[in-house]
Amino acid sequence: MEEQSNITFRVIKQGIMANANFTVLVNGKSVGKINFKKELTLPFQKGIQKIQFKVGFMTTKELQVNVDGNDKIIEWIYGNNTEPYIVGEENTKIKNTADKSLNDLNENNQSLNSKKAKKPKNVLIIMLVIIIGIVGGISLSNVFDDTYNTNTQKETLDQYAGLWVHYSPHTTGAEMTLTLDGKGNFTEKTTVSEYNRTLVYNGTYKIENDTITLYKDGSVHSKWEIVNNKLLRNADSRTLTEYRKK
């Protein structure tokens, strides 16, 4: 008989809907329901399993799990725009993302160097953009991706730079902070006291009109409406979810 492994599915509260039921999807098919107090454990054969969580009309991004003979726990923090993750491997994923960003930057630099002899004017233009970006407050990493901050006014970025603390009247068991560095980079931390675990998300942000958009891995992480320079409100949520500047 082929070896099996157990996978436990768990959802953590970060918002309202205390009595909500969440559907667990494996390879696109429902295998059961869970809630904030009830988890689900099922056996699986070795191989790749595609995991998702669904509540109402919303379905999370797909998480591919390699069933390799070891038991695993899959968690999802509801209400925090996070993706499902394997407990114990979330820090590895963050490290891999950082390594990939560094490799992409190195590849871009190598590509520029290889074309230097053929297109000297283009190289000079790119160097000028980098210099302007650094002086204007845009970090070097943001110059090379598609999500760099389009608002280059340093005084505008400075208004919102610093530490922000998450607030929701329905949030229990989790604390969130958001740090904006004033150069187009953000760090979001979620600490779940019940499981003594901290998740860290890094990415870029841009300010357009009255909205701050956070990007992670090239995709929109979340959007925040600027109420004033001390208060941000979740633009994607129908509930009261805010960041208040500390």
CA dist 118 and 111 (Å) reads 12
CB 59 within 8 A of CB 25: yes
- In sequence order, the 6+-apart residues with CB closer than 8 A to the CB of 117 are none
Which pTM does this prediction carry? Answer: 0.47
Q: CA torsion, points 86, 237, 24, 18, in degrees to nearest 10? A: 100
pLDDT exceeds 80 at position 213: yes
**What distance in Å separates the CA atoms of residue 10 and residue 183, rounded to the nearest whole number?**
36
Nearest to 213 by CA among 245, 239, 178: 178
Residue 106 to residue 143: CA distance in whole angstroms: 13
CA distance 29 to 25: 5
Q: What is the structure's pLDDT at 69? A: 86
Convert the pLDDT of each residue in 134-155 to its tens digit: 555 444 444 334 444 444 455 5
Residue 75 vs residue 135, higher pLDDT: 75
Q: Say how many C-beta atoms besides its own lie within 10 A of residue 211's C-beta.
A: 13
pLDDT digits (tens, 9 = 90+) for 156-204: 667 788 999 888 765 556 788 999 998 889 998 888 766 677 888 898 9
Least confident residue range of 56-70, 90-104, 211-225: 90-104
pLDDT score at 96:
45
pLDDT tens per residue across span 15-40 = 555 567 899 999 999 999 999 889 99
Categorize the per-residue pLDDT at 131 as very low, low, confident or very high, splitting at 50, 70 and 90. Answer: low
242 near 233, Cβ under 8 Å? Answer: yes
**Residue 6 CA, distance from chain mean position:** 27
For residues 129 and 50, which has the higher predicted lDDT (pLDDT)? Answer: 50
Buried b / exposed e along 36-53 (16+ C-beta atoms within 10 A): beeebeeeeeeeebebbb
Integer Cα distance of 124 and 159 in angstroms: 32
3-class secondary structure per residue, the chain: CCCEEEEEEEEECCCCCCCCCEEEEECCEEEEEECCCCCEEEEEECEEEEEEEEECCEECCCEEEEECCCCEEEEEECCCCCCCEECCCHHHHHHHHHHHHHHHHHHHHHHHHHCCCCCHHHHHHHHHHHHHHHHHCCCHHHHCCCCCCCCCCHHHHHHHCEEEEEECCCCCCEEEEEEECCCCEEEEEEEECCCCEEEEEEEEEEEECCEEEEEECCEEEEEEEEEECCEEEECCCCCCCEEEEC
d(CA 120, CA 113): 10
